[in-house]
Amino acid sequence: MSDQATVEHLFAGMRRGELRSLARAVSLVEDGAAEAGHLLERSREVLSKCGQRAVRIGITGPAGAGKSTLVDALTRELRAQGRRVGIVAVDPSSPFSGGAILGDRIRLGEFAGDTGVYMRSMATRGHLGGLARATEDVLTVIEASWIDGVNKGSGSDVLLIETTGVGQGEIEVVRLADVVAVVLVPGMGDSIQSLKAGVLEIASVFALNKADREGIERLEQEIQEMLGLSTVVSAGGEVPALVRTVATSSIGVADLLQALDSAALRRTSGHRELNPFQTGLPKGLGTPMLDHLGIAVRSLEEARNLYAALGVPVTAIEEVAQEKVRVQMLQVGDSRIELLQATAEDSAVARFIAKRGEGIHHIALRVPDLAAAVAKLRSESVRLVSETIQIGAGGHRYVFIHPSSANGVLLELVESGHDSSGGQH
Please give the pLDDT value at position 59: 92
Calculate mean pLDDT across residues 140-152: 73
Rounded to an integer, what distance in angstroms lies between the CA atom of residue 49 and that of residue 3? 24
| Residue-wise pLDDT tens digits, 275-329 | 333 333 333 345 678 889 999 999 999 998 898 888 888 777 888 777 788 988 8
Residue 260 in this model has a pLDDT that exceeds 80: yes
Answer whether 423's CB lies under 8 Å from 323's CB.
Answer: yes
Rounded to an integer, what distance in angstroms lies between the CA atom of residue 174 and that of residue 373? 23
SS3 102: coil
Residue 71 in this model has a pLDDT that exceeds 90: yes
Please give the pLDDT value at position 358: 94
Please give the pLDDT value at position 392: 61
Answer whether 417's CB lies under 8 Å from 131's CB.
Answer: no
Calculate mean pLDDT across residues 151-175: 67
Residue predicted with more confidence, 180 or 239: 180
Grade residue 198 by pLDDT with cuts at 50, 70 and 90: low
Residue 160 in this model has a pLDDT that exceeds 90: yes
Of 140-149, 166-175, 288-297, least confident by mean pLDDT is 166-175
Please give the pLDDT value at position 187: 82
Calculate mean pLDDT across residues 27-56: 81
Residue 189 in this model has a pLDDT that exceeds 80: no
Calculate mean pLDDT across residues 44-50: 79
Grade residue 52 by pLDDT with cuts at 50, 70 and 90: low
Please give the pLDDT value at position 213: 94
Answer whether 70's CB lies under 8 Å from 245's CB.
Answer: yes
Cross-strand partners of 283: none
Work out the burial of residue 406: count CB atoms within 10 Å of its CB; fewer than 13 is exposed, 13-18 middle, 19 or more buried.
Answer: middle
289-415 adopts what CATH topology? Answer: 2,3-Dihydroxybiphenyl 1,2-Dioxygenase; domain 1 (3.10.180)
Rounded to an integer, what distance in angstroms lies between the CA atom of residue 256 and that of residue 252? 6
Please give the pLDDT value at position 281: 32
Residues of the chain with CATH 3.40.50.300: 49-279
Residues of the chain with CATH 3.10.180.10: 289-415
Calculate mean pLDDT across residues 86-101: 57
Averaging pLDDT over each range in 148-152, 182-186, 374-378, 418-422, which range is the top one?
182-186
49-279 adopts what CATH topology? Answer: Rossmann fold (3.40.50)
Rounded to an integer, what distance in angstroms lies between the CA atom of residue 18 and that of residue 166? 34
| Residue-wise pLDDT tens digits, 377-403 | 888 888 888 767 877 655 568 888 988
Please give the pLDDT value at position 319: 83
Calculate mean pLDDT across residues 255-275: 71
